[in-house]
Amino acid sequence: MTLLVVGVSHRTAPVPLLDRVALVDGAAERVSVDLLGSPHVAESMVLSTCNRVEVYAEVSKFHGGVLDVTETLAKATGVSRDELTPHLYVRYEDRAVQHLFEVAAGLDSMVVGEQQILGQVRTALRSAQEQATAGRAINDLAQAALRVGKRVHADTGIDRAGASVVSVALGIADDALPGGLAGARALVVGAGAMSGLAAAHLVRAGVGDIVVANRTFERGAHLATSSGGRAIHLHTVVDELADADILVSCTGSTGLVLTRAEVEAARAGSDRPLVIVDLALPHDTEESVADLPGVTRIDLAQLSERPDAHASERDVDLARAIVAEEVRAHIAAIAAQRVEPIVVSLRSHAERVVEAEIQRLRLRLPGLDEQAVEEVARAMRRTVSLLLHTPTVRMKELAADPDGERYATTLHRLFDLEPEAIESVSGTTAPAIAEGGDASFDDVLGGLE
């Protein structure tokens, strides 16, 4: 089996394409389930955020697995394979592990060091568990990534500047409003995790009033109550916009929540300052609203250009060192798991040899006292255990070596072990397309067509 990730993110695709491939309204769950019905995918987890869509999969064949994932994504998003593939990246085995660890640590985020991604990875894992698409490999990987992300944030200052998508965006908004956020009237559209974080930031900034609009009124009311504000129905958001100084929108909707025409009508020719913070993907607001007098629009693409969206080089280097250490430990643990059947097979082989010799001893010396026979048996077992201890420990250490399969084959030939034990570590070897396990889809394409 081969672990791989196939994805598209803000690093490889323009925002308009990310808008089109965003998985909303349960699409991520459907992709994960559909993948298990494909020929080569044994496990899957889909991570879909405001600036990335990634599929983590355990596959029986590398090329076939990449094709299965790509075609499933194309079908789910309505973006053709030919249009999608130039922006896809493929990482496998060690580099797939490293990639998810870096993602969970906030190192691959548009705003480096942001913490929301940890919750998004947790949500992706929970969904995969509920849909029964995550087996041992994906579960272990995602759980390890969550632990690594927490460690990076605890042991480094990567998020010292409060680098999160929400805090950086609201920092820009604070500068854009003549009187800042204190005392401003805020309209929050959406009631998910990002909206909740935005509301909390706005309360701390001292906004004068918060109105929450959401498609499901009850969820909006819950967020409004916890923020000391009030809730409205989503279809009345245009009516409230006329009195708002700042609008924060992150609904995850498939269509626009506010068009330029609606914003213009709500403002009725007013040029007083209005800041629109659009943190959704696909966008909730029409980009051209920024052309209206007095309107400032902030979206995800602008955030990465902010100096305060970047952690210090020292903290990033320290975070990468932690990730590298954790990747080595995870790979070693996986290798030890894979070699365990060989260890069991070798010890079973030794046990059979001991038992055969004990039976032979009984036949040759029928008058031998049973207590003496048991003492001899214990001595033989201790001897075998001592002799096998170092080789089995070394076997687990060497399993992470690139030549680990060669060692398994050698043991098979030396001790005539069960073939199933050797097959457990042989797996499906991904081609050496790029050093370290990185490839674009085009790198893989030659092996797919």
Whether residue 377 sits in one domain with residue 437: no
pLDDT confidence of residue 431: 54
Per residue in 403-429, pLDDT tens? 666 666 676 677 766 655 545 444 444
Please tell me the predicted confidence (pLDDT) of residue 427: 47
For residue 76, name the pLDDT band (cuts at 50, 70, 90).
very high
pLDDT of residue 145: 96
Co-location of 270 and 192 in the same domain: yes
Query: Do 235 and 296 lie in a common domain?
Result: yes
pLDDT tens profile 300-351: 778 767 666 667 788 899 999 999 999 988 988 877 776 767 777 778 888 8
Determine, yes or no, domain membership for 326. Answer: no
pLDDT, one tens digit per residue, over 137-152 is: 999 999 999 999 999 9
Same domain, 284 and 361: no
- Asked whether residue 173 falls in the same domain as residue 148, the answer is no
pLDDT digits (tens, 9 = 90+) for 352-366: 888 899 899 888 888
**Domain presence at residue 314:** no
In a domain, 323, yes or no: no
Assign residue 279 the CATH number of its domain. Answer: 3.40.50.720
- The answer on 212 and 145 residing in a single domain is no
Q: Is residue 202 located within the same domain as residue 274?
A: yes
Categorize the per-residue pLDDT at 445 as very low, low, confident or very high, splitting at 50, 70 and 90: low
The total domain count for the chain is: 3
Q: Give per-residue pLDDT as tens, 81-127.
A: 999 999 999 999 899 999 999 999 999 987 788 778 898 999 999 99
Whether residue 13 sits in one domain with residue 117: yes
In a domain, 325, yes or no: no
Does residue 317 lie in a domain region? no
- The domain of 443 spans 2-160+433-448
Asked if residue 170 belongs to a domain, the reply is: yes
Quick: pLDDT tens for 153-203.
Answer: 999 988 765 556 788 889 899 999 998 999 999 999 988 878 888 999 999
The answer, yes or no, to whether residue 432 has pLDDT greater than 70, is no
Same domain, 68 and 133: yes
Residues 410 and 444 in one domain: no
pLDDT of amino acid 434: 44
CATH of the domain at 127: 3.30.460.30
Over pLDDT 90: what percentage of the chain? 47
At residue 407, the pLDDT reads: 67
Q: What is the pLDDT of residue 228?
A: 92
Write down which residue in 245, 278, 309 finishes a domain. 309
Query: What's the chain look like in SS3?
Result: CEEEEEEEECCCCCHHHHHHHCCCCCHHHHHHHHHHCCCCEEEEEEEEECCEEEEEEEECCHHHHHHHHHHHHHHHHCCCHHHHHHHCEEEECHHHHHHHHHHHCCCCCCCCCCCHHHHHHHHHHHHHHHCCCCCHHHHHHHHHHHHHHHHHHHHCCCCCCCCCHHHHHHHHHHHHCCCCCCCCEEEEECCCHHHHHHHHHHHHHCCCEEEEEECCHHHHHHHHHHCCCEEEEHHHHHHHHCCCCEEEECCCCCCCCECHHHHHHHHCCCCCCEEEEECCCCCCECHHHHHCCCEEEEEHHHHCCCHHHCCCHHHHHHHHHHHHHHHHHHHHHHHHHHHHHHHHHHHHHHHHHHHHHHHHHHHHCCCCCHHHHHHHHHHHHHHHHHHHHHHHHHHHHHCCCCCHHHHHHHHHHHHCCCHHHHHHHHCCCCCCCCCCCEEEHHHHHHHHC
Residue 392 placed within a domain: yes
pLDDT at residue 49 in the model: 85
User: Does residue 292 share a domain with residue 272?
Assistant: yes
Give 236-271 pLDDT, tens digit per residue.
999 889 889 999 998 866 678 899 999 999 988 787
Is 417 contained in some domain?
A: yes
- Active site residues per annotation: 50
| 185 and 249 part of one domain | yes
Confidence grade of residue 433 (pLDDT, cut at 50, 70, 90): very low
Residue 5 reports pLDDT greater than 60 = yes
